[in-house]
C-alpha cells in the first residue's frame, strides 16, 4: 500500500501548490508541509525548490515522482489481479484513436483466436489522456502514436508509419499544392489538442518556424472517421497516417497531396510505466500482439 506521505507528495507534484494539494487531500497545509519534510529527511535531499514564488521539482524530486507513479500503477494492477476469481487473463490497455480504429480490430481478432478466454478491456483515447491513465494505473499499457517522455516509460516500437497530406481527388486548391506553405490558404481538418496525429504536424511546423494557425481556417474534430468523411467531401485537407487512409487511397476517394518538402514518418509504440514489476508480462503481451519474433524486438530502457 502506498504510504500516505507519498500520496501527499504526488498531489503537490500535480498542482505545484501546497494549498491546492491540501484541498485535494482534505488535510491542512501544515500537514502537507510536514509530509514533504519527512520525505526530504528520509531521502536526505530536497524534493522541491522555490524560484521566486513558483514551486518546482528538483532532480531528486523528479526521480521520486516517476518511481511513485509506477508504484501507484503497479498497486492498482495488483489489486485488480487479487480481486479476480476467474482463471481467464485480464488485459486493461489503451490505444490512440488511429491505432484503435485502424489496427486493433485485426490485432485483437488474431489474439482472441489464440487466447479465446482472454478478458480484454480496451480504452480508445488521445495520447495525452492515455499517458494520464497509465500514470493513474487505470490501464496497464498503451499503444500510442504520439510523443511521450522516454525517461518515464519503457517502450517497444510496434511499427514505423508514413504520415501524409491528403485531399479529395477533385479538391479545388487555391495554389499549386507542391509545398506545405502552399496549403496555408486551405481549410485544415485536424484532430483535437492532445492527439498524437495532430502533434506530429505541430512539431514539424514548429521546426520550420511555422504554426498550425498559419492555415487560414481550421476545423477540429475528435473523430478520425469524421475527418476522413469531411476530407472526402472536399471540405478541406488533412494530415493523417497513411495506414489510416489506405483503403480510401486504394479506392480513390482520397489522394495523397504531392508535397516536395514533406517527408515524415513516426513510430507506433507499445509503452508502460518505467520500472514496473509487471514489465516481463507487458513484454510478453507485446510479442503476442505483434507478429514479430523475440529476436526481432528491441526493448528500450
Domain ranges across the chain? 4-71, 79-159+267-300, 161-265
Contacts of 180 (CB under 8 A, 6+ apart): 165, 205, 208, 210, 259, 261, 262
CA–CA distance from 57 to each of 46, 271, 277 (Å)?
A: 9, 24, 25
Topology annotation, domain 161-265: D-Maltodextrin-Binding Protein; domain 2 (3.40.190)
Contacts of 201 (CB under 8 A, 6+ apart): 163, 190, 212, 239
Q: What angle do CA 227, 260, 145 make, to 5 degrees?
A: 45
- Does 298 have pLDDT greater than 70? no
- Does 95 have pLDDT greater than 80? yes
Task: Classify residue 217 as exposed, middle or buried by CB count within 10 Å of its CB (0-12, 13-18, 19+).
Answer: exposed
pLDDT at 52: 84
Does the predicted TM-score (pTM) go above 0.75? no
Tens digit of each residue's pLDDT (9 = 90 or more) over 167-194 = 999 999 999 999 999 999 999 999 998 8
pLDDT at 301: 42
Q: Which CATH number is 4-71 given?
A: 1.10.10.10
Q: What angle do CA 291, 195, 190 make, to 5 degrees?
A: 115
d(CA 62, CA 115): 39
Q: Which CATH number is 79-159+267-300 given?
A: 3.40.190.10
- Does 294 have pLDDT greater than 60? no
Tens digit of each residue's pLDDT (9 = 90 or more) over 251-267 = 999 999 999 999 999 99
Residue 33 phi, psi (nearest 5) = -60, -40
Please check whether the two domains, 4-71 and 161-265, share a CATH topology: no
Pairing relationship of beta strands 237-241 and 153-167 according to DSSP bridges: antiparallel
Q: Provide the CA 168 distance to its chain's centre, in angstroms.
A: 29
Tens digit of each residue's pLDDT (9 = 90 or more) over 190-233 = 999 888 899 999 999 999 999 999 999 999 998 999 999 999 99
Nearest to 9 by CA among 77, 75, 64: 64
In the chain, which ranges are continuous DSSP H helix? 4-15, 18-25, 29-43, 59-83, 97-102, 104-114, 127-136, 196-207, 224-232, 246-251, 279-289
Integer Rg of the chain from CA: 23
Cell triple for 222: 475528435
Q: Which helix (H) or strand (E) holds 163?
A: strand 153-167
Amino acid at each position: 500500500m502506498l504510504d500516505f506521505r507519498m500520496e501527499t507528495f504526488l498531489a503537490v507534484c500535480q498542482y505545484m501548490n501546497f494549498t491546492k494539494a491540501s484541498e485535494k487531500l482534505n488535510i491542512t497545509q501544515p500537514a502537507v508541509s510536514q509530509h514533504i519534510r519527512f520525505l526530504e529527511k528520509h531521502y536526505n535531499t530536497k524534493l522541491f525548490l522555490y524560484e521566486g514564488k513558483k514551486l518546482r521539482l528538483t532532480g531528486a524530486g523528479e526521480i521520486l515522482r516517476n518511481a511513485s507513479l509506477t508504484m501507484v500503477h503497479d498497486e492498482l494492477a495488483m489489486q485488480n489481479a487479487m480481486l479476480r476469481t476467474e482463471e481467464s487473463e485480464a488485459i486493461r490497455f489503451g490505444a490512440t484513436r488511429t491505432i484503435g480504429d485502424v489496427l486493433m480490430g485485426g490485432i485483437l481478432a488474431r489474439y482472441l483466436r489464440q487466447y479465446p478466454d482472454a478478458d480484454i478491456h480496451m480504452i480508445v483515447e488521445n495520447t495525452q489522456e492515455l499517458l494520464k491513465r497509465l500514470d493513474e494505473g487505470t490501464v496497464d499499457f498503451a499503444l500510442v502514436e504520439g510523443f511521450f517522455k522516454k525517461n518515464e516509460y519503457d517502450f517497444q516500437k510496434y511499427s514505423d508509419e508514413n504520415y501524409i497530406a491528403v485531399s479529395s481527388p477533385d479538391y479545388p486548391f487555391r495554389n499549386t499544392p507542391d509545398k506545405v506553405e502552399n496549403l496555408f490558404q486551405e481549410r485544415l481538418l485536424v484532430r483535437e489538442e492532445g492527439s498524437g496525429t495532430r502533434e506530429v504536424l505541430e512539431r514539424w511546423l514548429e521546426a520550420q518556424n511555422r504554426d498550425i494557425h498559419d492555415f487560414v481556417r481550421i476545423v477540429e474534430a475528435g473523430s478520425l472517421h469524421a475527418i476522413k468523411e469531411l476530407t472526402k467531401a472536399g471540405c478541406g485537407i488533412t494530415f493523417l497516417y497513411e495506414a489510416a487512409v489506405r483503403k480510401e487511397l486504394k479506392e480513390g476517394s482520397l489522394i495523397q497531396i504531392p508535397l516536395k518538402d514533406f517527408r515524415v514518418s513516426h513510430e507506433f509504440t507499445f509503452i508502460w510505466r518505467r520500472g514496473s514489476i509487471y514489465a516481463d508480462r507487458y513484454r510478453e503481451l507485446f510479442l503476442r500482439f505483434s507478429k514479430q519474433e523475440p529476436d526481432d524486438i528491441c526493448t528500450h530502457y
